[in-house]
Amino acid sequence: MSFTPPDLSEVLTNEQTMNSRLTTFRNDVKAILDEEEISYASDLGILGLLRLLPLPDPRDIELYCYASRLTKDGPQDTAKSTDMHVIIRDKNGYSMTGVNVTIQRRPISGGNWTTVTSGSSPLKYTATADANNGGYVYKAFVTHKSTLSAEHSLPQYYINYFDDEDMIYNIPPSLLNTTNLLKATNVKSVDKMGLEDYEGYIEVVANEAGVMKGAIMINNTPPIIGANSHTHVYIGYDVTRGNVPVATAVKGIGGGFVGSGGRDSVGIFCDNSDADFDSAYDFYFLGSPSDEGYTKVGSATECIVDIEGGSSGNYTYYRTADGSVENYAGYWYASDIGSTYGPCIVFYASNMAADGRLRIPIKYIRAVAP
């Protein structure tokens, strides 16, 4: 039987490679122990170092939910469910995999918790509406450490139309009723090409020089009349304040509850003048907004119109996203609104040129009805 002697240089090369890798691995384990502030003897071997490694210790849990158009058989024909994502983190903020997680839910109105799914982190659960009202509180927790938990309330009626790269979530042109403008003055037309091209804006065209104003109803929102104050329609704008004197021109975008009766609850955020907010009673904007602290020159601020439901009426609130500034417009009364009414986008311009265009960039439109 023949014998081929080994290539000693190759053996030496392989041994050096293995030693280098073991040294690197030993240093990596030491680095982990150092980060965990665990002491060890300087001459301890790899097995001894491995025995000192801490067991995985979850310290934080995050429950993300992207709710969008969540209805069972409402006006939306897509996205009738939403995904929930659970992420577990250690004490250093790093995400952990393989941790057992449980998701439960109970009705918002109260009741017992029921397990809907469980598995290893990261975990995803798809929530689907089983009605157009009510809703659930979802709770995610580490299975072996139930005190580590996070909750999220999800109404059964939830729409979220906003400008995003994913076209399914863009504001659809059909959401805005531009064929029946309310309280319109000097409006030639409304161009929704910015929505059709997924740019997130519309443009209102003036018929002649002068004041132009009006309201555009939002379709597919939950009923506001007869609802409680937990029903909301939110309209969000990114507003950058200008420095044009109010006496020269005012351009305002906003919203509220508008109808054909004598009571409206509307307001506008100014995006070009040296003021930043104005509200109106029965839609009589006088072109004299004031500085309420919503915005500052050159800095974009998210400003929100919050139209609350009510059994016989309610206020419309106007606030910044962080809640640092809040005002409200007139109280709307269901009995005085008339046959045509509803949540609306509102626009106003005090000094338009003939065929001039007022751009209304809409960040999102949301509706929540528990």
Q: What confidence tens digit (pLDDT) does each residue in 235-266 have?
A: 999 999 999 999 999 999 999 999 887 789 99
Q: Of 27-31, 111-115, 186-190, 315-319, which range is least confident?
A: 27-31
**Which span out of 31-45, 88-102, 263-277, 331-345 was modeled with the highest average pLDDT?**
263-277
Instruction: Name the DSSP class of 56.
Output: P
* 195 SS3 class: helix
Cα–Cα distances in Å, from 158 out to 79, 110, 369?
11, 19, 7
The pLDDT, as a whole number, for residue 281 is 83
**Structure tokens, 137:** 């509180």
Distance CA 96, CA 224 (A): 43
Distance CA 140, CA 143 (A): 9
The pLDDT, as a whole number, for residue 169 is 56
The pLDDT, as a whole number, for residue 167 is 46
Task: Report the chain's C-alpha Rg in angstroms.
Answer: 29
Instruction: Name the DSSP class of 370.
Output: -
* 366 SS3 class: strand
* Domain limits, the chain: 9-52, 60-155, 161-369
The set of residues, in sequence order, having a beta carbon less than 8 Å from that of 7 and lying 6+ positions away, is none
Name the pLDDT band for 328 (thresholds 50, 70, 90): very high
Read off the pLDDT of residues 53-62 as tens digits, 9 standing for 90 and up: 776 788 999 9
Q: Which of 56, 48, 58, 37 is nearest to 142 (CA)?
A: 58
The pLDDT, as a whole number, for residue 165 is 45
Cα–Cα distances in Å, from 172 out to 201, 202, 211, 213, 219?
11, 11, 28, 23, 10
**CATH no. for 161-369:** 2.60.120
The pLDDT, as a whole number, for residue 1 is 63
Do the strands 313-314 and 316-320 form a parallel or antiparallel pair, or are they unpaired? Answer: unpaired
Peptide bond into 343 cis (omega under 30): no
Structural class in CATH, domain 60-155 = mainly beta
Distance CA 144, CA 83 (A): 24
Question: Cα 248–250–256 angle (5° rounding)?
Answer: 165
The pLDDT, as a whole number, for residue 75 is 66
Distance CA 113, CA 110 (A): 9
Residue with tokens 């509406």: 129
Residue with tokens 């399914």: 168
Q: What is the mean pLDDT of residues 136-154?
A: 93
Read off the pLDDT of residues 164-213 as tens digits, 9 standing for 90 and up: 544 455 788 888 999 989 999 999 999 999 988 888 899 999 999 999 99
Q: Which of 35, 31, 28, 29 is nearest to 49 (CA)?
A: 29
